[in-house]
Amino acid sequence: MEVTLLGTGDTTGTPTPRCDCDTCERARELGVERTRFSVHVHNDRTDRSLLVDASPDFRHQFLEHDVQLPSEILVTHVHFDHLDGLGNAYRLLSDVSVHAADETDPETGQSVADTVTEKYDYLDAVTTVPHAPHEPFDACGFEVRLVPVVHPPLVCYGVVVEDPETGAKLSITGDTNYDVPDRSREALADPDLLLADGIVPAHLCEYHPRGGDHHGPDGTARTFGTKHMTIEGARELGEELNADETRVVHVSHFVPADEAFDDDLAVDGERYSL
């Protein structure tokens, strides 16, 4: 299993267009990017590739990084920075299964699978494949599961990708706060690699209208507002899940420049062989 981090940023990415903050300037100096979230998982045995989330930066990511176009795609939730790159299937992909959860979202009245089908019904190449949460399915020769996480107000899912031949395991928290359900934590546990949502450090919670939540024993907020983990929360979740390696993703440009490029904060283009 070869994992390539195509996009490791939040909704505006780093550098953010026309932003001259210290973090965006430092990213330009370093020549690194955090585009909108997307992960490429290649199966060497089948020579097929699963794309987890279709970033609006799809075209740029596939031009920038030497990976094959996806054989299959999985969508974790319907926020634009995880879904709207699916339009790139037009003329690029001839036949692609798009895996998504079949659970109806009270907020939208549709499941993620329903939304994909409705929004991209004009794309003949796209075939939506609905799945019940926690039920394993095959994608590109991997055993894959969608596991519910907490990203209010919408339903959202983490992802577990396992190679049944080698035992390699990738866990992705998806967009979530720290209050991941126990059953989902069990499914995500013991990965070779964990990609954990951590949008800002905990000390920035003072700037969020709702502050922080899910405080640790020392009082550190592990959730920023309601929707995302803090970087500290992502790190702590990695420890709780006994991950061999944790990379913090979905990182925003609001992280101060002297913290924004710490060793465990991912940038685009990182590759891992599991």
Token code pair at residue 224: 């920023």
Q: One digit per residue, pLDDT tens: the chain, 274 residues?
A: 999 999 999 999 999 999 999 999 999 999 999 999 999 999 999 999 999 999 999 999 999 999 999 999 999 999 999 999 999 999 999 999 999 999 999 999 999 999 999 999 999 999 999 999 999 999 999 999 999 999 999 999 999 999 999 999 999 999 999 999 999 999 999 999 999 999 999 999 999 999 999 999 999 999 999 999 999 999 999 999 999 999 999 999 999 999 999 999 999 999 999 9
pLDDT digits (tens, 9 = 90+) for 157-200: 999 999 999 999 999 999 999 999 999 999 999 999 999 999 99
List, for residues 103-137, the tens digit of each pLDDT value: 999 999 999 999 999 999 999 999 999 999 999 99
Show the domains of the chain with their CATH numbers. Answer: 2-273 (3.60.15.10)
CA triple 146-150-154, angle to 5 deg: 85
Question: Residue 274: its pLDDT value, please?
Answer: 98
Question: Would you give the DSSP letter of residue 6?
Answer: E
Q: What is the pTM of this model?
A: 0.98
Question: Is 253:12 a contact under the CB 8 Å cutoff?
Answer: yes
Query: Is the Cβ–Cβ distance between 37 and 59 less than 8 Å?
Result: no
> Do the Cβ atoms of 144 and 116 come closer than 8 Å?
no
User: DSSP of 198-249, one letter per residue?
Assistant: --S-GGGGGGSTT-EEEE-TTS-EEEETTTEE-HHHHHHHHHHTT-S-EEEE
